[in-house]
Amino acid sequence: MTSSAHPQWVELTVPVDVNAPAEAVWRTVTDWPGQGDWMLGTRVEVVGGGDGRELGAQLRAVTGIGPLGVADTMDIVEWDPPKRCVVRHTGKVVRGDGVFEVVELGPERARFLWTELLDLPLGALGRAGWPLVRPAFRAGVEMSLRKMAQQCEKQYRRERDGRGAGL
């Protein structure tokens, strides 16, 4: 789905290259509770049990500082491991689709693309303010993805070198 399918939506895609196999990147980005380790100011939980790695799973993220935050409820509407996951944002503030894509670049290298297709709150006012908010939003996503890449690479090296996940 693209923003052209919804002309009122805005689209933002941020890529990051990771020195780890596509499978390792996929495991990292779909470890929903683990996203709190790398996603700026965000905690994520699976709603309703399980690990959330399946079509129809429900997630809840809260982004903010301390007790102040914005809740983001999501349903997984597309699940194609280890390549693509689409979540539908169903909250009152955050609405639209989030797309995670992993592209294999080689045996130990992959590109992760995070795309948000957002139906901005506040209608025309939200769309008018997007050009002001977009640079900060993008910078936050870029910072988060750099941290994710570092974490994924470190974990992959541990596993590859035989030191295991818990060491």
Q: What is the pLDDT along the chain (167 residues), one digit of tens a residue?
A: 555 667 679 999 999 999 999 999 999 999 999 999 999 999 999 998 889 999 999 999 999 988 889 999 999 999 999 999 999 999 988 999 999 999 999 999 999 999 999 998 888 898 899 999 999 999 999 999 999 999 999 999 999 998 765 54
The CATH number of the domain holding residue 85 is 3.30.530.20
What pLDDT was estimated at residue 96? Answer: 96
Residue 8 covered by a domain: no
Provide the domain limits for residue 49: 18-160
What pLDDT was estimated at residue 167? Answer: 46
What pLDDT was estimated at residue 123? Answer: 85
Residue 10 covered by a domain: no
| Contacts of 27-33 spanning 24+ positions with Cβ under 8 A | 27/82, 28/148, 28/151, 28/152, 28/155, 29/85, 29/100, 29/102, 29/112, 29/148, 30/81, 30/85, 30/100, 32/59
Residue 145 covered by a domain: yes
Would you give the end-to-end CA distance of the chain in angstroms? 40
Domain count, the chain: 1
Residue 4 covered by a domain: no
Residue 149 covered by a domain: yes
Residue 41 covered by a domain: yes
Residue 38 covered by a domain: yes
Residue 2 covered by a domain: no
What pLDDT was estimated at residue 166? Answer: 53
Which of 2, 5, 29, 1 minimizes the C-alpha distance to 15? 29
